[in-house]
Amino acid sequence: MTVKHDVKDLSLAAEGKKRIEWADKDMPVLAMVRERFAKEKPLAGYRMAACLHVTTETANLARTLQAGGAKLALCASNPLSTQDDNAASLVKDYGISVYAIKGEDRETYYRHMNIALDIKPNITMDDGADLVSLLHSSRKELADGVVASMEETTTGVIRLRAMEKDGILKFPVVAVNDAQCKHFFDNRYGTGQSTIDGVIRATDHLVAGKKVVVCGYGWCGKGVASRVRGLGASTIVTEIDPIRAIEATMDGFWVMPMSESAKVGDLFITVTGNIAVIRMEHFRQMKDNAVVCNSGHFNVELDLEALEKEAKKVRRGVREFVDEYTLKNGKRILVLGEGRLINLAAAHGHPASVMDMSFAVQALATEWSIKNRSKLSNKVHEVPKSVDEWVAALKLESMGISIDKLTSLQKKYLSSHDMGT
Ligand code: NAD
Ligand code: ADE
């Protein structure tokens, strides 16, 4: 019998399965976790609700949690990031309940999250804290049953820390994003590559010779800026943090305020995790046919409400994932992916090789929170260093790279204060 689900079309499953297996080849660390989980069943008896981008990489995480003994319900963490063939295969081939359809409207998006929560989860997993938000508002009757929640992204962790500060967090949360094996690689190299992939798939534009404005020089911004520069763009960074602005300058980028970069940019990419970073006053100054997109978590970085109101004409879908807004001054602004994360809306998100580390950390953090359930307070917890070190060591091994070990003399030297002069 088919498990409960709401996906686009189960007949897409065969294509999805091939792609899940393709991704799995690049996820050796997660596969090792899965093998052990299958033997030891550390998640047996636990019900999990996961709200993640429903990609082939997430499929391999879901298989790992299932191998560990969890009963899982999966829904999307963004209305545009679901891969429908993959969702179909998870249901049909792997017996995992999925509630996600690419392009679902807001009402369906929330309905799907609510159905996933109907599993009455003991563990939740979020990319952006949406499940946790529901568990503290319209579904708060379920919060007492939650042992712990894992959070995948920077914006989610920021929201959860704000809840902790206000003393309202009802269960422990693990900041998976803050593990080094997550944000050092996923946010930087993953977002760097997949964001450009999304822009190119949506536009077919050449990057070389363009002026590209990257808003935010955090982990994601560093990745995006270095990759567009590598493709031959003159790259401009905007920031609000003076230290990050110096870093961008010393990394060789132009740094200027949005008001100045708006006049010169051909392509704008926001990755700040902030709201209204590109506003009407900026859109008005842009060149004709300027391309604007976002790769930060929520679709609030571009003030599209204002653009919608002020534009004298809007042509939706001039290409797939491209809407054209004509301003009163006659200039056209091309908005990609409705301002939603372009790497998952127009492309397939981060490559499997980098999600291997993020999702190995997710699975191990889940196991750790279950083992330590009696000790965890209702706060945001760090992933233990031992998890980071284990994942890093196995990733290196899978890449065929070995490194040096400290000699006993070196160990002594590094822990002493009387040697060396
Ligand atoms: P981060 O905190 O490392 O960096 C954000 C940077 O933006 C900071 O340097 C901050 O000073 C800067 N900033 C804030 N407001 C700004 C403004 N108005 N103008 C210019 N700069 C501003 O965060 P991060 O890890 O780089 O994540 C950024 C966003 O990307 C978050 O929303 C995160 O959840 C999301 N994210 C997306 C993906 C993806 O797949 N697209 C992957 C990882 C993270
Ligand atoms: N976030 C960014 N890329 C992703 C991917 N490929 N799968 C799941 N979540 C992601």
Mean of per-residue pLDDT scores for the chain: 97
Q: Give the residue, by CA position, lying nearest to ligand 1 atom 40.
A: 191
Q: What percentage of the chain has pLDDT greater than the value 90? A: 99
- The residue whose two tokens read 């301002």 is 339
> Cα–Cα distance between 360 and 188 in angstroms, integer?
17
Ligand 2 binding pocket mutation candidate from 27, 51, 53, 294 (most atoms within 8 A of CB): 53
Residue 202: Cβ within 10 Å count:
21
Cα of 272 from ligand 2 centre, angstroms? 18
Q: What does the pLDDT read at residue 351?
A: 98
AA identity, residue 56: T
Q: In this model, does residue 82 exceed pLDDT 70?
A: yes
Q: Is-contact 146 376, C-beta < 8 A?
A: no
Cα of 266 from ligand 2 centre, angstroms? 27
Q: Domains in the chain, ordered, with CATH?
A: 10-182+350-398 (3.40.50.1480), 189-345 (3.40.50.720)
Selection from 289, 279, 287 nearest residue 258 by Cα:
279
Q: Is-contact 97 18, C-beta < 8 A?
A: no
Q: In this model, does residue 421 exceed pLDDT 80?
A: no
Q: Is the CB of 248 under 6 A from ligand 1?
A: no
Average pLDDT over residues 147-163: 98
Cα of 187 from ligand 1 centre, angstroms? 9
Average pLDDT over residues 127-137: 98
Q: What does the pLDDT read at residue 418?
A: 85
Q: What percentage of the chain has pLDDT greater than the value 70? A: 100
Ligand 1 binding pocket mutation candidate from 51, 78, 154, 160 (most atoms within 8 A of CB): 154
Ligand 1: nearest atom to the Cα of 222: 26
Spell out the alpha helix ranges (H) of 151-214.
154-165, 180-182, 191-203
Q: Is the CB of 220 under 6 A from ligand 1?
A: yes
pLDDT one-digit tens code per residue, 295-332: 999 999 999 999 999 999 999 999 999 999 999 999 99
The bound ligand whose nearest atom lies closest to the alpha carbon of 271 is: 1
Average pLDDT over residues 238-259: 98
Write out the H or E segment, with its range, that includes residue 352: helix 352-371
Q: Is the CB of 64 under 6 A from ligand 1?
A: no
pLDDT one-digit tens code per residue, 208-221: 999 999 999 999 99
Q: Give the residue, by CA position, lying nearest to ligand 1 atom 30.
A: 296
pLDDT one-digit tens code per residue, 351-404: 999 999 999 999 999 999 999 999 999 999 999 999 999 999 999 999 999 999
pLDDT band of 1, cuts 50, 70, 90? confident
- Overall pTM surpassing 0.95 (yes/no): yes
Q: Is the CB of 238 under 6 A from ligand 1?
A: yes
DSSP 3-state assignment of 421?
coil
